[in-house]
Amino acid sequence: METAQPTVIENNRSDNGTAPRAVDWENPRVSAILSAAAKCFARKGFSATTLAEIGKELGLRKSIVHYYFASKAALIHEVQSFTYHKYLGRVKEALASDTSADRIGSALHSLWDAIQNNKTGTGLNIEVWSAARRDPELKRRASALHSDAHKLVHEHIVQGLGITNGDTQRGEALSTLILAVLNGLSVTEYLEGDEAKSKHAYEMFVSLLNQNRNAS
């Protein structure tokens, strides 16, 4: 008989405003559930997918999935959070491997490429954002994840553009702008299906950022 071996990590929201990790991603059972959930969400969408179907994907009972994830909102948050942290890894790799003057541009390109390569995730994000209007838990988790993404952009891109820690207002505004533009372009491409148009708009945005950096 299948028994659950939980490695749930109960944390409160961290002092820096980012969302805590609720589960151990290194646990093989957790990793398998996240992978199965990602496939099910991609196949049927967030609303139409049930915890029972995710368990069935792995040959597990719904109760075992529920043991690790208190709700479907918690599960979709972990799936999306895992994806965002992969983005962060690519940005860090780009910064570490590129010593040229345009290393920040390389990091930004790495983030954009990660978003571009996650076409299914864009549609899922739209559905989750819509569902969050009616689900307080989902809204809270989506907000926490957005804070994580904002922190990623601020720490690894904005500060590299020459915005000092003392210029908090400008740094926060630029972080918000970069994240809004990248997400907006991703949604636009998802809806219109015009990759070339989105790429051109992205390149214009990067050019404007470079002009801002040179003028600073």
Q: What is the pLDDT of residues 60-88, one digit of tens each?
A: 999 999 888 988 888 988 888 877 777 77
For 73, 131, 147, 150, the CA distances from 105, given in Å and listed in that order, are: 34, 34, 22, 17
pTM score, whole prediction: 0.68
The CA-CA-CA angle for residues 86, 123, 8, to 5°, reads: 45
Q: What's the mean pLDDT in 95-100? A: 67
- Is the residue at 209 inside a domain? yes
Whole-angstrom distance, CA of residue 25 vs CA of residue 29? 9
Q: What's the mean pLDDT in 6-16? A: 36
Element (H, E) at 15: none
Output the pLDDT for position 14.
37
- Is the residue at 205 inside a domain? yes
Please say whether the beta carbons of 69 and 51 come within 8 A. yes
Does the pLDDT of residue 201 top 90, yes or no? yes
> Which residue matches tokens 């553009």?
161
The domain in which residue 96 lies consists of 79-215
Whole-angstrom distance, CA of residue 11 vs CA of residue 88? 21
Q: What is the mean pLDDT of the chain?
A: 78
Q: For the chain, what is the domain count?
A: 1
Q: What is the pLDDT of residues 124-176, one digit of tens each?
A: 888 888 888 888 888 888 888 888 888 878 877 776 666 665 677 888 888 89
- Is the residue at 30 inside a domain? no
Low-confidence winner among 16-20, 101-105, 174-178 (lowest mean pLDDT)? 16-20
CB count, 10 Å around CB of 58?
A: 16
- Is the residue at 17 inside a domain? no
Q: What is the pLDDT of residues 163-191, one digit of tens each?
A: 665 677 888 888 898 889 988 998 998 88
Q: What is the CATH number of the domain that holds 188?
A: 1.10.357
- Is the residue at 182 inside a domain? yes
- Is the residue at 49 inside a domain? no
